[in-house]
Amino acid sequence: MRVCAAADMPPGTAKRFDVDGARIAVVRIGDDFYAIGDRCSHADVSLAEGDVLADSRELECWKHGSAFSLETGEPSCLPAIKKVPVYRVEVRDGDVHVEEER
């Protein structure tokens, strides 16, 4: 499903989208796009409001600092211990599409 134009997301940013009832955080690092579940697995906090960690390819929850891998959805530090879903992302004709959960 198309979520936005690639040009609408500057590198180093994250944005929340609602796709078929699922809350998804889309992240851009350079020209790479990622999509993970937007809801922190520790509490109901939007991960898209956190910091994009470009070097480690993670999204950091602003509330207590757990950082989630954009590739696997696994948190690399406490307090979160459960992974968040990871979605397939494709850029086609300048638009970002989020596909099913991997």
Smallest distance, ligand FES to C-beta of residue 14, A: 14
Q: Identify how many contiguous H helices and E strands the chain contains and give both numbers.
A: 0, 9
Query: DSSP labels for 62-93?
Result: TTT--EEETTT--BSSSS--S---EEEEEEET
Nearest residue (CB) to ligand FES, 50 versus 96: 50
Smallest distance, ligand FES to C-beta of residue 86, A: 17
Contact predicate 29/52, CB 8 Å: yes
Smallest distance, ligand FES to C-beta of residue 31, A: 28
- What are the residues binding ligand FES (CB under 6 A)? 40, 42-43, 45, 61, 63-64, 66, 79-80
